[in-house]
Copies of this chain bind each other. A is one copy, B any other.
Amino acid sequence: MQTVTVDLDTRSYPIHIGAGLLGAAGHWTPCLGSRVMIVTNTVLAELHLAPVQAALQGRDFETLILPDGEATKTLASAERIWDALLAARFGRDASLIALGGGVTGDLTGFAAACYQRGIDFIQMPTTLLAQVDSSVGGKTGVNHPRGKNMIGAFHQPRCVIADLDTLGTLPERELRAGLAEVIKYGLIADAAFFAWLEAHLDALLAREPAALSHAIAVSCRTKAAIVTADERESGVRALLNLGHTFGHAIETGTGYGTWLHGEAVATGMVMAAELSARLGRVPSATVERIRRLIDRAGLPVTAPRGLDAGRFLELMAVDKKAQAGRLRLVLLRAIGEAELRSDTDPGVLRALLDQFPRGP
C-alpha cells in the first residue's frame, strides 16, 4: 500500500492506494463517525459492496443504492440522500461513504457538505478517473440542466481509499478515460512523469498493479500539492483545468454522456497544446508528442464533427472559468509546465477552432 497525504491543516487526509483495501477495515473505519451510510450505485453494489459491508459488521450502518450514471448527479439525488439520512435520524456525528466513480463521489460529498451544514465522508473511488482526480481536492457538486457542477461545495473527505481491485472490473473505455487525467498531470507539472508514461503506457493498459499504483500515487501527489497551495481555486489550481474548457464544451455540445469526461479532456488537451503552438509558446514537435501519447492511450485526438467554431466559443464562454467576459485558458509553455492566460488573441482561438481536425 502507498499513502499520499493531502496537507490542509486540520482538514488534512490520507489517500491509501493498494489492493484489497475495501475489505481492510483497519485502514478506514477509524475515519468514521458513530453512524454510517454507504452511498453507491447499482453496478458497484453488485461488484464491490460486499467487502465494505463485511468490514462494517457490528457497526450501525445503512446502504443507499442509486442508479448508475451521470444522470444521477442531480439535486434530486442529493435530496434522496438527505431524506434517507433524516428518515434514519442521522445526526451531525454520522459519516457517509461514497463507493463509486466520480458521480457517486461528487454527489455524496455534496450531500455530506450540506447535511446539517457538513458531516464527514470518506471516498472509495472505483474508477481510475475518480482515483486520480475527483477524490482529491474536496470539490463536490451536482449538475444543473444549464451546466455541469453548477451547484456544489468545497468539502474535504476524511480519507480516500483507492482500491486497485476495483480497476479490475472497470470497462476498458473508462480505464482509458482515466488515463487522460493521468497524462494531464505529466503535462502541467512533471515532465519526467510524462516520459515515464510514454515508457509504461502498455503496462497501464494491461492493468499491471505496480504501474497503476505508481501512476495513481504520482497523480494524487501532484494534485494534492496543487490543492494544498490553493484550496479554493483562486490561482494555481486552475492549471488542473488544462483541456477542460475545450473538454466541457465538447461534453455539453454533444450532450452529456456521449463523450466520457476523460475523452473530452483528452481532445481538449490536444487543442490546448495546439493553441499554445499557434501562439508560439511551444514547438509543434511538442504538440505531436502529446498527441501521440494520447492516441496510443486509445483516446480521441479530434473534435466532434458537429461542433463548429461558433458553437464551441458559445459553450466555452458559459464555462465557470470565464471571468467577467474574459476567457481564461490553461496553455502550455513546455511538457511539465502550464500557465493560466486571459489574453489569448480571439482570432488565433477562432482559427484553431475552425481548423482543428474533426473526428471520424
Which A residues are closer than 8 A to B by beta carbons? 34, 75, 79, 82-83, 86-87, 89, 91-93, 110, 113-118, 139-141, 144, 146-147, 149-154, 232, 318, 320, 322-324
Q: Is the CB of B86 within 8 A of A144?
A: yes
The complex places the Cα of A152 from the Cα of B114 at a distance, in Å, of 5
Q: Which of B79, B92, B318, B323 contacts A89 (CB under 8 A)?
A: B318
Bound CA–CA A324/B33 (angstroms): 10
Across the A-B interface, give the 5 residue pairs with the lowest CB-CB distance, nearest first: A86-B146, A117-B152, A34-B324, A114-B151, A116-B320
Are A118 and B75 neighbours in the complex by a CB distance under 8 Å?
no
Which residues does chain B contribute within 8 Å of A34, judged by CB atoms?
A: 324
**A116's closest neighbor in chain B, by CB?**
B320
Set of chain B residues within 8 Å of A153, measured between Cβ atoms = 113-114, 117-118, 153
Within 8 Å by CB of A150, from B116, B150, B232, B320, lies B116
Question: Is there contact, CB below 8 Å, between A150 and B115?
Answer: yes
Q: How many copies, total? A: 2
B82 touches A150 (CB 8 A): yes
Q: Which B residues are CB-close (under 8 A) to A151? A: 82, 114-115
Q: How far is the CA of A144 from the CA of B87 in the complex (A)?
A: 11
**Within the complex, which residue of B75, B86, B113, B116 is in contact with A75, where a contact is CB–CB below 8 Å?**
B75
Chain B positions within 8 Å of A147 at CB level: 86
- Tell me the bound Cα distance from A303 to B335 in angstroms: 70
B114 near A114 with CB under 8 A, answer yes
Since A110-B114, A114-B141, A118-B154 are in contact, a sample of 17 more A-B pairs with Cβ atoms closer than 8 Å, ordered by chain A residue number, is A82-B150, A82-B151, A83-B146, A86-B146, A86-B150, A87-B146, A91-B322, A91-B323, A92-B320, A92-B323, A93-B324, A114-B114, A114-B153, A115-B151, A116-B320, A117-B139, A117-B141
What are 11 of the A-B contact pairs (CB < 8 Å)?
A: A34-B324, A82-B144, A82-B151, A86-B146, A86-B147, A87-B146, A91-B322, A91-B323, A115-B150, A118-B153, A153-B153
Check if A324 sits within 8 Å of B75, measured CB to CB.
Answer: no
Nearest B residue (CB) for A111: B151
A156: shortest Cβ distance to chain B, in Å? 13
Find chain B residues with CB under 8 A from A79 CB.
Answer: 75
Cβ 8 A contact of A116, one of B113, B118, B152, B324: B152
The answer on a CB contact under 8 Å between A91 and B154 is: no
B324 engages A91 (CB within 8 Å): yes
Min C-beta distance of A30 to chain B, whole Å: 16
Chain B residues whose C-beta falls within 8 Å of the C-beta of A322 in the assembled complex? 91
Are A154 and B117 closer than 8 Å at their CB atoms?
Answer: yes
Q: How far is the CA of A152 from the CA of B153 in the complex (A)?
A: 11
